[in-house]
Amino acid sequence: GKPISEARGEAGRVGELLRLSVFEGTQVRGESLPLDAQVGAGKDKLGFTMRVPCGVVLAITPFNYPLLLVMHKIGPALSAGNAVILKPAKQTSLSALRMTELLYEAGLPENALQTITGSGSRLGKLLCADKRVRKISFTGSTDVGEQITQIAGVKKLSLELGSSCPMIVMPDADLDQVAAATATGGFVNAGQVCISLQRVVVHQKVYADYLDAVKSAVEGISVGDPMEESTKLSAMINEAEAARVSDWLQEAVQSGARLITGGDREKAIVQPTVIADVKPCMRLATQELFGPAIGVAPVESFDEAMEIANGVNYGL
């Protein structure tokens, strides 16, 4: 369902990222250091460190950027001299398999990269617990990331987990510029981005004006066939995820929030949605939505805005 214009943008960045990874791999060096910290010892000695590959790196990637986020992991790992086991999301495994083929066609050494497809709940646990794996790089939900920490054992971990990104709008803001930024930041890739804007905290003085501006901007997002160049938003990854997002939005409205625009769903397509008067206790405000909607809340001061913005269990 990713619009073709966004897909081309993603694919166009992969080569650049690979070249950057290769360059950085040539810059991996150790350090030399004196050993004379202890009086009377080490004056005639010099120590040095060496950076060496971890060994086998397990790369677990999500569906939302099936080329770019794969390269984010395998590019640096291979460039540093590691062997990589790639476990892509089951919904988008074909692009990962094709990338693997292309890398071998380009001369990648045998067994430097192995791509395994299938159920993450089954394969992920087996791979993460295997003692032959020395490092795990995972991008995905916070819940799964926590599970990995519990089963990985003594391994290096790099975990890029969930978010509920806020934006604060104060009275001196350019509301047209903010509304345009909202329409971009909250709805690219149907909101299925780990840094997607989800919560907008607006000072009461400009609250109504912001809602008017953002309503117009969001209603201008073209929804339709992902193969059309003009389309800016299309289907989510599957109908189950779209139904979940729709349920969350309905839950917020039923709990006292106000639907400004959108809210409809047809199969896997959720219309770009703005929900106002969102309370901090609502699921839309506390958990990662990962869908094409934003929740807007009014505040009376900057301090209150900061408290709401930071009042979630996410780092982003």
The pTM of the full predicted model, rounded to 2 decimals, is 0.94
Decide which of 110, 128, 160 is a domain's last residue. 160
The residue range of the domain holding 69 is 4-33+45-160
In contact, 131 and 58? CB cutoff 8 Å: no
Q: What is the dihedral of CA 22, 24, 26, 31, to 10 degrees?
A: -160
Residues 79 and 208 in one domain: no
pLDDT for 55 equals 98
Measured CA to CA, the distance from residue 238 to residue 36 in angstroms comes to: 62
Residue range 142-157, pLDDT digits in tens:
999 999 999 999 999 9
Catalytic residues: 160, 194
In contact, 95 and 103? CB cutoff 8 Å: no
Residues 89 and 136 in one domain: yes
Measured CA to CA, the distance from residue 21 to residue 149 in angstroms comes to: 27
Order of strands, edge to edge, in the sheet holding 83-87?
113-115, 83-87, 56-60, 133-139, 156-160
Q: How many domains does the chain have?
A: 2
Residues 120 and 15 in one domain: yes
In contact, 70 and 59? CB cutoff 8 Å: yes
Dihedral pair phi/psi, residue 210, rounded to 5°: -65, -45
Helix (H, G, I), strand (E, B) or coil at 197: strand
Residues 79 and 146 in one domain: yes
Dihedral pair phi/psi, residue 114, rounded to 5°: -125, 130
Measured CA to CA, the distance from residue 2 to residue 236 in angstroms comes to: 8
For residue 261, being part of any structural domain is answered with yes
In contact, 63 and 36? CB cutoff 8 Å: no
Measured CA to CA, the distance from residue 211 to residue 53 in angstroms comes to: 52
pLDDT for 316 equals 62
pLDDT for 40 equals 74
Decide which of 160, 176, 205 is a domain's last residue. 160
Measured CA to CA, the distance from residue 139 to residue 144 in angstroms comes to: 9
Among 68, 53, 129, 121, which Cα is nearest to 90's?
121
For residue 79, being part of any structural domain is answered with yes
Residues 76 and 147 in one domain: yes
Q: Which two tokens stand for residue 211?
A: 């809602």
For residue 119, being part of any structural domain is answered with yes
Q: Which two tokens stand for residue 247?
A: 């349920």
For residue 137, being part of any structural domain is answered with yes
Decide which of 126, 160, 194 is a domain's last residue. 160
Per-residue pLDDT of the chain (316 residues; tens, 9 = 90+): 899 999 999 999 999 999 999 999 999 999 998 888 777 777 788 889 999 999 999 999 999 999 999 999 999 999 999 999 999 999 999 999 999 999 999 999 999 999 999 999 899 999 999 999 999 999 999 999 999 999 999 999 999 999 999 999 999 999 999 999 999 999 999 999 999 999 999 999 999 999 999 999 999 999 999 999 999 999 999 999 999 999 999 999 999 999 999 999 999 999 999 999 999 999 999 999 999 999 999 999 999 999 999 999 987 6
Measured CA to CA, the distance from residue 193 to residue 190 in angstroms comes to: 8
Write the DSSP string, 115-175.
E--S-HHHHHHHHHH-TTEEEEEEES-HHHHHHHHHH--S-EEEEE----EEEEE-TTS-H
Residue range 269-314, pLDDT digits in tens:
999 999 999 999 999 999 999 999 999 999 999 999 999 999 999 8
Identify the helix (H) or strand (E) that includes residue 221.
Answer: none
Residues 209 and 288 in one domain: yes
Domain CATH for 90: 3.40.605.10
